[in-house]
Amino acid sequence: MSQPVLTMEGISKEFPGVKALSGVNFELFPGEVHALMGENGAGKSTLMKILSGVYAPTQGTIRLKGKETSFRSPLDAQRQGVSIIHQEFNLFTNLSAAENIFIDRPEMVGRFGRIQWSKLYNEAQRLVDSIGGGEIDVRREVRHLGVHSQQVVEIAKALSFQADVLIMDEPSAALPENEVKKMFDVVNRLRAQGVAIVYVSHRMKEIFEIADKVTVLRDGVKIDTRSIEDVTEQSLIQMMVGKEVHRLYPVRDQEPGEETVLKVDRLSLDSAHAVSFELRKGEILGLFGVPGSGSHTVAERLFGLKRGTGDILINGKAARINSPGDAKARKIAYVPPDRHRQGIIKPMSIRQNLSLPMLPQLSKGLVLDRGRIRRMSEEYMEKLRIKAPSDEQSVDFLSGGNQQKVVIGKWLASKPEILILEEPTRGVDVGAKAEIYNIIHRLAREGLSILLISSEMPEVIGLSDRILVLYKGEIVHEFAHGEADQEQLLQRASHPRLEGGIL
Amino acid sequence: MKRLLNVHEAPIIIFTIAVFLLFSVISPDFFQLDNIKLILDQNISMFIVAIGMTMVILLGGMDLSVGSVLAVTATSVGLFLGQGIHPWIAALMGIGIGVLCGMVNGYFIAVRKIPDIIVTLATMYIFRGIAVGISGGTWMTNFPEGFRFFGQGQLLGISFPLLIAVVLIAVFVYLLKFTRSGRKIYAIGGNGSAAKLAGISAAKSKFMVYVLTGLLVGIASVIFASKVGSVQASTAGNSLSFEVMAAVLIGGGSIFGGVGTVAGTMLGVLFMGIIKNGLIISKVSPFWVDATTGFLIILAIVINTLQRIRQNKGKEGDLI
């Protein structure tokens, strides 16, 4: 066995009042893809930040290629050969790919401070080509590139520092499902070139596809490092949460009702495409499509965020929905995909967030009815098991899972008949996921009709009574309960014309 | 004690008290009832205008035009008085002009969705220009005896303008804290997209806030004209916009919106008033008053920021 390129020994990190990591050992070998897993708050980010030079450890040593070292800053770590690619790309979208790759680098500057453009472009193209990004023109501005190509630029940027170690933080999060394969190709090339890759992801399926080894952290302590052949999805979850999780998805013990609550007829998504479907009482209807398929637009149309043609019938009556206010009046609720940008209002308390869509009902005239607001908020804190010392605490202090529960809770308080959930568990840890799935099931059992739009296939399969597959603005397939598996679903969503073909 | 320190306005309260004590030690003339009355009295217009600016900044906006609105309203009132119109009618008409100015700002910002900084930068020049134009560039003086009441009169032994300011502060504290409209303003400023999804119309609230700001500036300008006894269109309220914005920020408001209170802003105005008064009483050269004020503003805002960082320390998300 070769020598490890990186060794971390006894790494601890303390913040005032919190011990984020204690005594973590971590070894990384050249040419391996090493997955780092753990629930939110387990210490993954802290470990990554220490590794990439953002934080200095309180205790412990780092050895790079056998020599003890320390990273004074992210730039220092990069110069020593450790680069990180963040979940959100750090690109100047108004500059060319080549400029992004070699931003602020003395070796690209000639006499009198003149930038050596031809050297810059050639070097950049060579780097991009070496990881299979040959179709990218490095002279083009980054904003014209697709998400996958932008990621390639990020990786090229990291490699331009002769990276021995590359940390990838949730690299698939920003990618459409059908581009994840391309990203894996890039990772495989890097592996073949002997780069050591730390791969951080919540997505089980990817880990099993790409990783050689997996290290699990929990509560700031390393639980174990194992070879990927020695673990199963079940055992990984168990290592992460520390207790046996029997099922992530609850058993559906009730059939949806017969009556149609929502009927959508030729609802336009853009000038050329329209969809028709029905949602029954107490049903969980999954809507799956890769980004760009129009699934997000369906939600926007139903909630009045986007206008178009076509009919929406609610309980058999035609409804005009031109604004979120209209949708609210028709008892439609919408949990949006991006909780930070569209869901929570950070400076406000949990109670204030929960009461927001219901302000008219929770007021006497123009004046807020504080007693009712308090009772309502306490009721939903309890119902959704939102974990916080008090509902007067700012939502900013909550974990991702609890923030998401607040977003769901504020819409439940409006007593909707139709609930549109878009990416209800994005960026939420496994424990909170299971809780949110239970909540979704309970709501359906209580008679709420749910439209579940998600890009996580296991979630759509595990929760839905029926699944509609959307491809380029058209519903191309319907799976009945228990019919779909991930392979078929992805196949329908990306190559609907290939009947039973291979993927 | 710990709970007290976690009050949103804690830094500005402590800082104001510290500055107050400092000046009391430096100059025996500072801590006198008459001087404190003077500080309040001199800043009445600022208190009132700052209420409006608090709402504007809570929405994540800004209003550069309030000084010019003050000029155009005060000038108009002066003209009305010159025409022999009854002081009360003239005052009401002036306030109406303030509301009109607010509607102009509100229309372009809320309905036409032009960025507030551009709209109010333009209206800052427009309103000031109109004020200078209608006054013909001359001083307005010789207001009738009856008009002095608004700025200098007394009601039940209390200064009338102070009474107005206190009533307005109470009304707007209530509005922001206990009514739906207030909650909407915080929601829009805190996260516009989330507020929209909750069915809250940003346009309505924004329009309302700019109109209310116009109304408040209108009231302030009547008091200002009456107190000073003269109006010069080209200089009245010259630096008002920036001073008032500074007061909101000193009082804990966030320039990004969603954070701030009327109470905090009022302390911010008081803080600035104390500094100006104290510096003069302490015989600091008047040439250095502006620089010192600016320095203290930065200091106050740094303290506010530190407080916010301290409060966020216990947060898990950013640390782990």
What's residue B3's pLDDT?
A: 59
Q: What is the pLDDT of residue B315?
A: 44
* pLDDT the model gives residue A244: 53
Task: Give the pLDDT confidence score for residue B210 in this predicted structure.
Answer: 97
Q: Is the dihedral of CA A460, A464, A467, A473 positive or negative?
A: negative
Q: Which of A62-66, A424-428, B271-275 has the lowest mean pLDDT?
A: A424-428
| Separation in Å, CA of A41 to nearest CA in chain B | 6
**Residues on chain A touching B201 (C-beta within 8 angstroms):** 325
Which residues are bridge partners to A288 per DSSP?
A: A469
Flag whether residue A367 sits within 8 Å of chain B, measured between CB atoms.
Answer: yes
Chain segment A6-47, per-residue pLDDT in tens = 999 999 988 766 678 889 999 999 999 999 988 766 788 889
Tokens standing for residue A140: 């083009």
Residue B192 has pLDDT above 50, yes or no: yes
**Residues of chain B found within 8 Å of residue A393, distances taken between Cβ atoms:** none
Task: Give the B window 258-297 contacts with A, CB below 8 Å.
Answer: 258-259
The partner residue sitting opposite B316, judged by closest CB among A305, A325, A399, is A399
A495: confidence class by pLDDT, cuts 50, 70, 90: low
pLDDT digits (tens, 9 = 90+) for A44-68: 888 999 999 988 999 999 999 989 9
Rounded to the nearest integer, the mean pLDDT of chain A is 87
Q: Could you identify the residue written with the tokens 């516009």? A: B192
The full DSSP string for A430-446 is HHHHHHHHHHHHHHHHT
- Which residues of B are less than 8 Å from A327 in CB distance? 199
Percent of chain B surpassing pLDDT 90: 60
Number of Cβ within 10 Å of residue A248's Cβ equals 18
pLDDT band at A498 (very low <50, low <70, confident <90, very high): very low
B200 to chain A, closest Cα gap in Å = 7
| B314 contacts A360? CB cut-off 8 A | no
Q: A147 vs A266, which has greater pLDDT?
A: A266
Of residues A499 and A371, the one with the higher pLDDT is A371
Q: Which two tokens stand for residue B86?
A: 């009854």
Average pLDDT value for residue range A103-122: 86
Residue at B42: amino acid letter: Q
Closest C-alpha among A229, A83, A225 to residue A165? A83
Per-residue pLDDT tens digits for A150-177: 889 998 988 888 889 999 988 887 777 7
* A residues 213-272 lying closer than 8 A (beta carbon) to B: 220
Q: Which domains are present in chain A?
A: 6-241 (3.40.50.300), 247-331+416-503 (3.40.50.300), 342-415 (no CATH)
pLDDT of the residue at B318: 37
Do A463 and A249 form a contact (C-beta atoms < 8 A)?
yes
Model confidence over B66-117: pLDDT tens digits?
Answer: 999 999 999 999 999 999 899 999 999 999 999 999 999 999 999 999 999 9
- Find, in chain B, the residue whose alpha carbon is nearest to that of A49: B320
State whether the Cα torsion A250-A255-A261-A262 is positive or negative.
positive
Q: For the segment A269-284, what is each residue's pLDDT rounded down to a tens digit?
A: 888 889 999 999 999 9
3-state secondary structure of A394: strand
Q: Summarize the confidence of residues A117-138 as an average pLDDT.
A: 88
Per the model's pLDDT, the better-predicted residue between B10 and B174 turns out to be B174
B180 vs A41, A366, A410: nearest CB: A366
d(C-alpha A274, C-alpha A267), whole Å: 5
Confidence grade of residue B320 (pLDDT, cut at 50, 70, 90) = very low
Residue A252 has phi, psi (to 5 degrees) of -85, 110
Coil, helix or strand for A471?
strand
Task: pLDDT band for A496, please (50, 70, 90 cuts).
Answer: low
Beta-carbon separation of B259 and A400 below 8 A: no
Span B150-164, average pLDDT: 89
**Whether A357 contacts chain B with CB within 8 A:** yes
CATH code of the region B25-308: 1.10.3470
Residue type (1 letter), A4: P
A285-334 pLDDT tens trace = 999 987 778 889 999 999 999 999 999 999 999 999 999 999 999 999 99
Give the distance from residue A313's alpha carbon to the nearest chain B alpha carbon, in angstroms. Answer: 21
- What integer is the mean pLDDT of B145-165? 89
Smallest Cβ distance to B316: which of A41, A325, A334? Answer: A41
Residue of chain B whose alpha carbon sits nearest to that of A15: B319
Minimal Cβ distance to A356: which of B198, B312, B316: B198
Angle between helices A147-159 and A180-192 (to 10 degrees): 20
Pairing between β-strand A466-471 and β-strand A284-288 as defined by DSSP bridges = parallel
Q: In the predicted model, what is the mean pLDDT of residues B176-193?
A: 94
For A48, name the nearest residue in chain B, comparing CA atoms only.
B320
Name which of B194, B315, B319 is nearest A343 (Cβ-Cβ). Answer: B194
pLDDT for residue A16: 65
How far apart, in whole angstroms, are the C-alpha atoms of residue A202 and residue A433?
Answer: 11
Say if the Cβ atoms of B199 and A367 lie within 8 Å. Answer: no
Phi, psi (deg, nearest 5) at residue A407: -65, -40
Q: Label residue B303 by pLDDT band (50, 70, 90).
A: confident
DSSP E strands: which ranges in A149-283? 165-169, 196-200, 213-218, 221-227, 260-268, 274-280
Nearest to A344 among B194, B201, B319 (CB): B194
Contacts of residues B161-170 at CB distance under 8 Å and 24 or more positions apart, as own/partner, are B161/B41, B161/B44, B161/B223, B161/B226, B161/B227, B162/B40, B162/B41, B162/B44, B164/B44, B164/B48, B164/B219, B164/B223, B165/B44, B165/B47, B165/B48, B168/B48, B168/B51, B168/B216, B168/B219, B169/B47, B169/B51, B169/B262, B169/B266
Cα A47–chain centre separation: 20
The pLDDT value recorded for residue A354 is 94
Q: Specify the residue for token string 């954070």.
A: B259
* Sign of the alpha-carbon dihedral angle for A80, A82, A87, A92: positive
Query: Which residue from B238, B255, B293 is spatially nearest to B74, judged by alpha carbons?
Result: B238
Give helix B116-135 / helix B87-106 axis angle, nearest 10°.
Answer: 150
Assess contact for A391 and A381: CB atoms under 8 A: yes
Contacts of A410 in chain B (CB under 8 A): 198
Q: Looking at beta carbons, which residues of chain B come within 8 Å of A366?
A: 179-181
Compare all CA atoms of chain A with the CA of B58 and give the residue at the minimum distance: A347
Alpha carbons A258 and A449: distance in angstroms, whole number: 12
How far apart CA A190 and CA B114 sit, in angstroms, is 48
Å from A357 to nearest chain B CA?
5
Inter-chain CB proximity B199 and A325 less than 8 Å = yes
| DSSP summary character for residue A124 | H
| Structure token digits, residue A164 | 């021995």
Question: Nearest by CB to B199, which of A17, A45, A324?
Answer: A324
Mean pLDDT across chain B? 89
Percentage of the residues of chain A whose pLDDT score is greater than 90: 49
Task: Name the pLDDT band for A374 (thresholds 50, 70, 90).
Answer: very high
Yes or no: say if A427 and A411 are a contact pair by the CB < 8 Å rule.
no
Q: Is B183 on the interface with A (CB under 8 A)?
A: yes
User: Domain locations in chain B?
Assistant: 25-308
pLDDT number for residue B312: 59
Alpha carbons B245 and B260: distance in angstroms, whole number: 12
Residue A186: strand pairing partners: none
Q: What is the pLDDT of residues B204-228, one digit of tens each?
A: 999 999 999 999 999 999 999 999 8
Find the closest chain A residue to B184 by CA distance: A356
Task: Give the model's pLDDT for residue A503.
Answer: 35
Cβ pairs A/B, distance under 8 A: 100
What pLDDT sits at residue A29? Answer: 95
Task: Answer whether residue B24 shows pLDDT above 50.
Answer: yes
Give percent of chain A with pLDDT exceeding 70: 96
Q: Say what the pLDDT of residue B301 is.
A: 79
Helices vs. strands in chain A: H and E counts, helices first: 16, 22
Cβ <8 Å between A344 and B254: no
Pairing of strands A82-85, A67-69: unpaired
Q: Is the pLDDT of residue A135 over 60?
A: yes
DSSP B100-148: HHHHHHHIIIIIS---HHHHHHHHHHHHHHHHHHHHTTPEE----GGGH
